[in-house]
Chain A
Amino acid sequence: MKDDSRKFPLRPELEPREVKTPDGQTITVDPLRDYFCEAAPRVHAPVYVKIVEDFFNWARSESLWILGFGTGCGAIEMRPLMTPRFDAYRFGIQWRPTPRQANLLMISGYLSVKTLKRAIRSYEQMQSPKYVVGLGSCTINGGMYFDSYNTIKRLDDYLPVDLYIAGCMPRPEALLKGFEDLKKIIRAGKAEGANAYAENFAQYKERQKAVIHDWDMPDYNW
């Protein structure tokens, strides 16, 4: 049923092109190489002294900054958390507009292949240490979209997930409990998703490319 032989031409805006600089020189720009760091992600070893690492982990757990990126219907459950009724800010959790300022990526619900591409880019642009939380049944085993032709079935194939919050959809209370559990995991020093991603980088890339058939970005988008 699949046609694996189908090839996707590079988009015109991604092809190398000649650009004139303000100084009048002509240079060649290759968008897939020149705008990104080519080095693969590195494993960041813990600090030598355990008590210092524990202190770092405590500090990390108390400032979870979420990337405001809603992928599915679960994004609607995050909005009440920002408002006074549930008020996640009192737990040190806030939403940020850019991946550079965030350290927690919430995959809120089903993830289509097209969105997966953007989610991977956003995740890779976040700074370590960073965490991923999968929200709802769809991220765990596909949920009600188990037979959908265009949504992924298990998130941890593509991104290192630290915590799943089950439900369809989980209520804001469940999310708050999930944040508390994530804090415990971080304080215990077990939220090493970014390092796992760096260690198993080749495997993650292989699985990502198995579903994203028109791969048109660098392997690492930092």
Chain B
Amino acid sequence: MDKILARLEERFPGRATTRQRPDLAFVTIEAAWLREAALHLRDREGFTHLVLLTAVDWLEAGQFQLTYLLHNRARACDIGLRVMLARDAATMESIHDLWPTGATYQRELREMFGIDFPGSPRVDAEFILEGWIGPPPYRRDFDTLAFAESNFRHREGRETRDPAAHMKHKLYPEKG
């Protein structure tokens, strides 16, 4: 694992490397290098399996973080390639020709986060949501409660209690 990371570092000087476990590391690289780094890992280092492609919304930093988790079956270790994207008009290069399963992940990210992957097959087609009229729902600035209240009719009489305050009142009523 150390040698693999050293070779990766040599070719693509990364910004940060996190050793999560002995068999799991995350490497943050430039978005423009992702394709070559993925090809390097797939063809030279044996990371043939794309485990997942997912996004994290760093709202405060104004960035999306994409994680491409790759698995090496022979060595039983994983490397996650991390890419930071600008949050507004986020666009990323498609990897559907490296791993066909990538197209499905990219469709999901397009629908749920609004990240565009030009050239990916059926990337604009509906993935899970049908007839969706709101903004991409996994973005953190999407207010799901406000959307639910404007979109659905609610039943009257629902009470919501803060569990901590409720139990405190129930167990120690004399303390108010």
Contacts and interface: CB of A to CB of B under 8 A. Distances in A.
B130 A142 contact: no
Given A2-B133, A114-B129, A213-B133, A149 B155 contact: no
Contact of A147 (B130, B134, B145): B145
- Top 8 closest pairs, chain A to chain B, by CB: A214-B131, A213-B131, A147-B145, A141-B155, A154-B155, A153-B152, A149-B144, A114-B130
B154 A146 contact: yes
A150 interface: yes
B99 interface: no
A27 interface: no
Nearest to B152: A153
Contact of A146 (B133, B150, B158): B158
Given A2-B147, A149-B148, A142 B134 contact: no
Interface of A: 1-4, 6, 8, 113-114, 117, 140-142, 146-150, 152-154, 157, 207, 210-215
B42 to A, nearest CB: 35
A142 B154 contact: yes
Contacts of B154: 141-142, 146, 153-154
A114 B154 CA distance: 18
B135 interface: yes
Given A1-B135, A1-B143, A148-B148, A117 B130 contact: yes
12 contacts: A2-B151, A3-B133, A140-B155, A141-B155, A147-B144, A148-B144, A153-B153, A153-B154, A154-B153, A207-B153, A211-B152, A214-B131
Contacts, number: 73
Q: How large is the interface on B (under 10, 10 to 19, 20 to 34, 35 or more residues)?
A: 20 to 34
B58 to A, nearest CB: 21
A149 B137 contact: yes
A212 B152 CA distance: 11
Contacts of B131: 8, 113, 212-215
A150 B137 contact: yes
Contacts of A153: 148, 152-155
Nearest to B129: A150
